[in-house]
């Protein structure tokens, strides 16, 4: 049994993000490989190469990884920044990489493009969840689950 008491995000690379979530979910490389359907006697080696960035993750395999790790696939995608939401997901990861870093919305922000609109739309929920976490109304695991797209409560209706 592999136990990860305190996973640490090493970088913002796709491989490091997959490794971090796998460790948060307390899953070995062997188990992840088997659950995503790798049929090989070198399962652990293939996952290790994926996490080390030696191996590109194909879209269909990435979808399966997201399902097995119970995470929003957008948290695992390679960033091309063609999708305005990618900056938002990157900011959520930066917060994991640099704990204590604060982001704030400028009330005088001039909306210039789709990325601005996306961030303005998504920021209030992020701020609400971060405030709940800081005040101790939710724990780190619930806050991280929300960021990963799998928080089971409603931030508006859970009454905490």
Q: What is the mean pLDDT of the chain?
A: 84
14-75 belongs to CATH 3.40.50.720: no
**Percent of the chain's residues with pLDDT above 70:** 84
Which string of DSSP letters, residue by residue, matches 31-99? HHHHHTT--STTHHHHHHHHHTTSSPPPHHHHHHHHHHHT--GGGTSPP-S-STHHHHHHHHHHHHHST
pTM (2 decimals)? 0.85
Q: For 9-66, what is each residue's pLDDT tens digit?
A: 999 999 999 999 999 999 999 999 999 998 888 888 889 989 997 667 899 999 999 9
Contact (Cβ atoms closer than 8 angstroms) between residue 92 and residue 126: yes
Residues in the chain: 160
CATH 1.10.260.40 maps onto the chain at 14-75
Q: For 110-125, what is each residue's pLDDT tens digit?
A: 667 888 788 888 888 9
């Amino acid at each position: 049994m592999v136990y990860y008491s305190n996973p640490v995000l090493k970088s913002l690379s796709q491989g490091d993000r997959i490794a971090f979530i796998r460790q948060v979910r307390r899953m070995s490389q062997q188990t992840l490989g088997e659950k995503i359907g790798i049929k090989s006697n070198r399962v652990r080696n293939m996952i290790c190469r994926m996490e080390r960035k030696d191996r590109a993750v194909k879209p269909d395999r990435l979808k399966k990884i997201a399902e097995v790790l119970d995470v929003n696939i957008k948290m695992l995608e390679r960033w091309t920044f063609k999708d305005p939401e990618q900056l938002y997901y990157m900011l959520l990861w930066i917060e994991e990489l640099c704990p204590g870093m604060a982001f704030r919305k400028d009330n005088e922000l001039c909306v210039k493009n789709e990325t601005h609109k996306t961030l303005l739309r998504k920021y209030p929920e992020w701020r609400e969840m971060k405030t709940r976490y800081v005040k101790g109304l939710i724990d780190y695991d619930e806050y991280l689950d929300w960021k990963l797209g799998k928080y089971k409560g409603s931030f508006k209706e859970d009454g905490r």
